[in-house]
Each structure stands twice: as structure tokens, then as C-alpha cells.
Amino acid sequence: MVEHGDIRVVHRGGIARYCRFLCERGIFCCCRFLLCGSGYEVKVFSTSTEECIHDLRAHTDLVTGVLLRPSNHLQAYSCSTDGTVRLWDYTDGILIKTYVIGYPIYSIYTSANHSGVLFVVTPTSDKRSEFQLVAVHLPQSGDQLVEAREFSAVLSDVSSNPAATSFGRGGEYIASAKGLQLEVYFFKKQKFFLKEDNKKGGKNTFTCLACHPKDDCIATGHEDGKIRLWRNFNHKKEYTYTTLHWHHSAVSSLCFTPEGTNLLSGGIESVLVQWRYNQESQRDFLPRLGAAITHIAVSPDGALFCTSHSDNKITIIRSSIQVSAVIQGLVKGDSVRTDLMVDPRSKALVLNGKPGHLQFYSLQRDKLLYNLDIVQQEYIHQSGLEQFEVVKAAFDAYGNWLATVEERKQKPTELELNLKLWAFDEQTQSFMLNTTISAPHEARITAMCFCHSTDSQTTVLVSVSKDGHFKAWQLAPATHTEGPSWSCDFVGAYHSLVPECCCFSADGSLLAVSFQEVVTVWSPASWELLTTLSQPPGAIRNLCFGQLTCSKYLLGTTDKNLLCCWNLLTCSLEWSTSMDVSLLLSDPFSENMAAFCCQAGCTDLFVFKPSEPRPLFSHKAVCLGKVTRAVFAPREKMLESCEETSQWLNHSQLYFVTQYMVNTQHNEATWHYSREALKNMGLCIRIFTDTFLVYKSVYRLRWLMS
């Protein structure tokens, strides 16, 4: 992220949205506000309008916990791994105080019984993978920045998971669970152990814990989906427990309502379960919340619940178990398997969203527009189940048609493929399913594109598959009983080679299909093979036609580090250069093309015109890891930059996704840079990183450490 002239890489979506749930604590205040830690900041949402009211920014690292101040409900503490606890006035968004602890903090607890004391979980000083619960006495001082140095250890060897520790009965005791062990610490007496044995090979590991606010009762969630209610634990060895079982896999969060009448639980099933305290056979369910529940919180007056989900979403639920609001960021999926696309109508970025959906994300407003249900099947929340996934999608030139491919691979031999074509409906302003073609090919579809010609009446879709064929699909005219539908127009093959990429020329008069080392050029009007081009050795990796004035050029990259440019008028090689291009794409709004080259763990960006091999712009080490997807998105307002190196960004912005598995250091470093870049929003290339993958790995790492 070295500064280069005016052009900077900015992380978008990533910081703001993805890592919100790293801290995974949403809390309520007065039923009107919802606070949640999101990356380096704490966001304050209105519970009625779903809008973000304040971003509380001061932390220099991940926010790991947010908590109301028990003595003043208009103030809140937030803790972060940068080693500080900050006190905020969240209604006005003002930082009141900063307490410097000096150690990374992973969670924070307070109780009304213990005024002036904060309980924080920090790594033990010698080993970073072991954590301890420490009481911090807050010094009374009028200064903004206060250093708190008065610690007393409460419990050693605790879990860093914020859900695994809780105060009970107004702060009389604190309970903490780790592995197969539950520890209860009575502040008046001494601490106490309850041990859960791993009997009969059951998976009894504790996952989360909640204490009843009035009663001496601790509810614990377990990996096998059971909930245990522990009682009588203030006498040694005489504790009892009852078991509740509804969840089929690990309980990820538990929460009592403030009066203690109900217990809420959630897990991967994405069902919120409400148990009546003392009448556990009576349960209420709120099913189909969309994604696995990671955290549950209840407002202090008990009128609202909120659940945070693994797909970057917070659901606000009334106490009558009805959803009242949904706060949704860029939907976090498992991976981006479709290309990044721009919807020609709404100019929204389109990529995989919820499982089986495509999400439309407005880049201008930085907001999720909607999710389009592609698979149209009930999603079964169960780990280890093969689901249908949207793997390919393509828009036609005007956004009238959308083609999607979904696949499910249950066994290596059985591949279920569906090609669906969606027509844009003016009335509902969304896409309606027009044609479903089951098993369009015998093997995986590797590429798909619409003919982008502007004048032709009939649009053509070409799909290229590993089964050695490419197929052209055409819209058949409507009969009097049914509307127009798509059918196969042509099946092409070349010497039983396996095709990889396909590309239409800008005017739609030529189709280039690469068959391993050979590029074949076809005429879509007559489906004649016009010519073949090849540059052995090396199979073609990317294929791209030039745009506008450079439309006579066809560019291809091979996996033997070669970038070739053919002139289609002479059918000869115009120029070639040796570079390991991982991704090549053309800007539809100008002649420019972008090539990402992967070198030594970093990716370099080159921008050039096909007419000359000299790059207009090059940027070494744009990001770490390999760039997997990229797209040029049009600008709302054209820029009037005359500087040669930045002219290529006048019409469009370049978005890309990287996919890399890195260690924490790298990740944190990236963040720092991006923060600086954000402050300096001049002219920028905007980047999506596949950060959720990274963040997930961070999270795992922390778990491993704990």
C-alpha cells in the first residue's frame, strides 16, 4: 500500500461491514439504540429505523466488546485489543474517557455490585494463548486519558470467548466455562469448580453460558446441542442440573431476559428458541432467521431481543417473537464463486450473497439493495450437507436478462447443474425466472457470457463446459400458450479439446472460445468456425476482446507466463510479452485493460491499451495474495483528470477481490494502511478484499490460542 501519485487502494465493505461480528456483542439501551462493535469502531444503530446514527471511532485495533455502564445508562464502555477501554456518551457520540490497560483485551464485564471495577479478559503475560480474568480498579481522575494499573486476578485459565463468562445474581458470583470445566467464583467466599466429564464419548464441551439474574441458576450451552441448567452449586459436590435438548448442533449463544422469565438460545440452525424458565417444556420458536445465530442480546427492559448472525446481519426481534427490523451489511458468504459483476440497470455490484442467492450491493450508497433468490429451495442449516451454490452469473448488455448457473456436487460422479434465465420485470423491478434448464452440460460450466451487441434483436448466451462442448442458447419466440423461453441453438466442439474461456467481441459479431492452447473464432450469425489462433505452449487462461477503438484486438493470457495480443484483421500476433497474468479484464467504458500479475505473494496491477504493449499505469504490490475477481464499475460522475497515469480512472473504478490465507500480522498491517488510505480519499481504486475469509481465520486463531 505504498502511495503512488494520487492513486490509492481503499478497502471497502471489508472494514465497515465484514468484521462487525468479530466482537459479536450487540447491546441495547433504552430500546432505542443498538450498539455494536464493528472493526475498529463502535456503531450506534437506531432500533426503529435501522439507520446507523454514530460511528464511535477512536480505537486503533479490533473492538472486542461493548458494555453499558451500570451506574449511568447513557454511557458505554468499549474494549479493544489495542489495550484500552474507552467510555462513550453514545447518544451524542462523544468519547469521555480512555483507560489504558496495556494488554490486549478480549472481553469486558461489569456489575452494579462492583462500582469502579471492570472485569476484563487478557492474555496471561507469559503465554499469549492462555487467558485470565482480571479485575481492573478504575482510578478516579478528571483526565481524558487515564492509565489503570491496579489489577487483581480473579480467575486464571478462562476462555477468551465473551459468551463463556457471566455475572450472576446481581454480581454475587461470576461463572466462567472452558473446555469441560465450569468455574464459579463467589466474591464473598472462594471459587468453586464444577466439572463436566466426557461421558460415553458425548460432546459435552461448554460453548456458552448465561446466569439467571434473580435465581441461583446457571444455563450452559454444549457442543452437542444440549442446554444444562445448574442449580445448588453454592454447596460443594451437591450441585444438580437439568438438561434441555432441542438444538441439533452446538448452542452458540444463551441469554436470560432481564426478569429471568425466559431463556433464549440460538445456534447454527438459525432458529431462536425461547424457553420458559421453570416450564421448560414450553418453547417458542422463531425459525428461518437466515444464517447461524452467533450472539443474542436483550434490551434492559426486555422489550427487544437482538440476534447477530454469521452472514453479517443483526435482527431485532420484539419480545412477542416477531422480527421488527433487520440491519444487514454486505452479505458474507463462504466464498465469491461468481464473478464480480455490475448490474447494467442499477449499477449495483452483484456477487454471491446468502446461500443460493445473488446480492445486489449499491456501491454509491454502500448499501445492500436486495438478495435475489436463485436456488428457490428451503435452506437446511446443517453442517456437512451439500447445498446448491450459484457458481456463475452473467448479465446481458441492458440488464434485461440474467443467466445463472447453480450446481450441487453430492458425490464425485453426480453433478447437478441448473442453468436459469431471469427476465427483468419492469413492474416489480426485479428479475423473474423465465427458463430453467436442468443439466445444460454434462460437466461443470467454466465460463458463460452474453452477446453484448447493441443492435441485434436476439440475445445469445454462450456457455462453456468441461465436457468439451460450448453451447449457444437463444431466446425462442413466444407461442400463444406460453411466453418466450430459451433453448439451445448450437453445440460446438473443437477436436475434443476442453474449452476454458469464451468472449464476445464488442459488436457481437465474433465469438472467441479457447480450447486449451487454441483460440477458435466463430461467427455467431452462422456458427461457422472462422479461424484459429494459437501460441503454444501453454493453455489459455484468460481471453478478452478490446473495446471501442481497439475492438480489432483479442488478448489472451497463457499459463506459461505469456500475454498475447492478436490482430483479428490480419489474424496475426500483434505483440506478446512475458508476464504471469492471473486475471485480465477490459473496461467496457474505455479502451483500457487491467492485468493482475501474481509475483512472490503480492499482486501487481498493470493498465494498458491493447494497441500498444507499454503500460499506462503500473502499481507494484497492490495487495497481498492473488486477485481472484475484479470488475470495472462505472462512475456516477466522470472525472476530468488529465494526468496520464490516472486518466484510466476517469470513467470507471476498479474493484477487486483477493483471496489469501495469511497470518494475523499481515492482516493487521493491511488494516492500518487502509485506515490511512481512507482518511486520504483522493482518487482511489476501491478494493473489496475477501476479508471475511481472513477474519474468520483470525477468529479461529484466537480460539486456538485460548
Task: Enumerate binding residues for another protein (CB under 8 A).
Answer: 286-290, 315, 323, 373, 376-378, 380, 382, 384-386, 388, 408, 410, 414, 435-438, 440, 471, 476, 480-481, 485-496, 518, 520, 527, 529-535, 566, 570-573
User: Looking at beta carbons only, is 37 or 290 nearer to another protein?
Assistant: 290
Nearest alpha-carbon partner for 460 in 488, 438, 428? 488
Alpha carbon of residue 490 to chain centroid: 38
Angle formed at CA 396 by CA 371 and CA 612, multiple of 5 degrees: 115
State in angstroms the smallest separation of the CB of 494 from another protein.
6
State in angstroms the smallest separation of the CB of 515 from another protein.
10
State in angstroms the smallest separation of the CB of 440 from another protein.
7
3-state SS, 67-131, equals EEECCEEEEEEEEECCCEEEEEECCCCEEEEEEECCCCCCEEECCCCCCCEEEEEEECCCCCCCE
CA distance 399 to 393: 12
Nearest alpha-carbon partner for 609 in 558, 548, 650, 560? 548
State in angstroms the smallest separation of the CB of 297 from another protein.
18
User: Looking at beta carbons only, is 369 or 497 nearer to another protein?
Assistant: 497
Strand 251-256 to strand 262-267: parallel, antiparallel, or no bridges (unpaired)?
antiparallel
CB neighbour list of residue 286: distance below 8 Å, 6 or more residues apart? 271, 272, 274, 317, 321, 322, 323
User: Looking at beta carbons only, is 131 or 431 nearer to another protein?
Assistant: 431
CB neighbour list of residue 263: distance below 8 Å, 6 or more residues apart? 210, 219, 227, 254, 255, 256, 257, 274, 275, 277
User: Looking at beta carbons only, is 150 or 284 nearer to another protein?
Assistant: 284
State in angstroms the smallest separation of the CB of 432 from another protein.
15
CA distance 141 to 496: 80
User: Looking at beta carbons only, is 3 or 386 nearer to another protein?
Assistant: 386
State in angstroms the smallest separation of the CB of 43 from another protein.
23
User: Looking at beta carbons only, is 131 or 566 nearer to another protein?
Assistant: 566
User: Looking at beta carbons only, is 129 or 487 nearer to another protein?
Assistant: 487
State in angstroms the smallest separation of the CB of 581 from another protein.
19
User: Looking at beta carbons only, is 485 or 647 nearer to another protein?
Assistant: 485
Confirm if 95 and 108 have CB atoms less than 8 A apart.
no
Q: Is 694 helix (H, G, I), strand (E, B) or coil?
A: helix
Nearest alpha-carbon partner for 402 in 377, 428, 434? 434
> Running DSSP on this structure, what letter comes out for residue 484?
-
Q: Which own/partner pairs from 48-55 qualify as long-range (CB within 8 Å, at least 24 positions apart)?
A: 48/325, 50/316, 50/325, 50/326, 50/327, 53/93, 54/90, 54/92, 54/93, 55/93
User: Looking at beta carbons only, is 386 or 643 nearer to another protein?
Assistant: 386
Nearest alpha-carbon partner for 101 in 75, 88, 119, 114? 119
State in angstroms the smallest separation of the CB of 573 from another protein.
5
CB neighbour list of residue 199: distance below 8 Å, 6 or more residues apart? none
User: Looking at beta carbons only, is 8 or 247 nearer to another protein?
Assistant: 247
State in angstroms the smallest separation of the CB of 272 from another protein.
9
CA distance 332 to 310: 8
User: Looking at beta carbons only, is 486 or 655 nearer to another protein?
Assistant: 486
One-character DSSP codes across 251-299: EEEEEE-TTSSEEEEEETT--EEEEETTEEEEEEEE---SS-EEEEEE-
State in angstroms the smallest separation of the CB of 75 from another protein.
33
Torsion sign (Cα): 624, 628, 632, 636: negative
User: Looking at beta carbons only, is 162 or 492 nearer to another protein?
Assistant: 492
Strand partners, 554: 545, 566
Angle, helices 691-705/664-679, rounded to nearest 10 degrees: 130
State in angstroms the smallest separation of the CB of 490 from another protein.
6
State in angstroms the smallest separation of the CB of 437 from another protein.
6
State in angstroms the smallest separation of the CB of 551 from another protein.
19
Strand 460-465 to strand 470-476: parallel, antiparallel, or no bridges (unpaired)?
antiparallel
- Residue whose cell numbers read 503500460: 615
User: Looking at beta carbons only, is 129 or 376 nearer to another protein?
Assistant: 376
User: Looking at beta carbons only, is 96 or 488 nearer to another protein?
Assistant: 488
Looking only at Cα atoms, what is the longest distance across the chain?
92
Please state the φ and ψ torsions of residue 16, each to the nearest 5 degrees.
-65, -40
Nearest alpha-carbon partner for 437 in 406, 395, 483? 406
Nearest alpha-carbon partner for 416 in 444, 383, 382, 392? 444
State in angstroms the smallest separation of the CB of 647 from another protein.
32
**Using CB atoms within 10 A of its CB, is residue 600 exposed (0-12), middle (13-18) or buried (19+)?**
exposed
Q: Which helix (H) or strand (E) holds 700?
A: helix 691-705
User: Looking at beta carbons only, is 81 or 534 nearer to another protein?
Assistant: 534
State in angstroms the smallest separation of the CB of 149 from another protein.
48
CA distance 462 to 449: 6
State in angstroms the smallest separation of the CB of 468 from another protein.
10
Q: Is 432 helix (H, G, I), strand (E, B) or coil?
A: strand
User: Looking at beta carbons only, is 112 or 385 nearer to another protein?
Assistant: 385
User: Looking at beta carbons only, is 398 or 527 nearer to another protein?
Assistant: 527
- Residue whose cell numbers read 487515564: 146
State in angstroms the smallest separation of the CB of 597 from another protein.
23
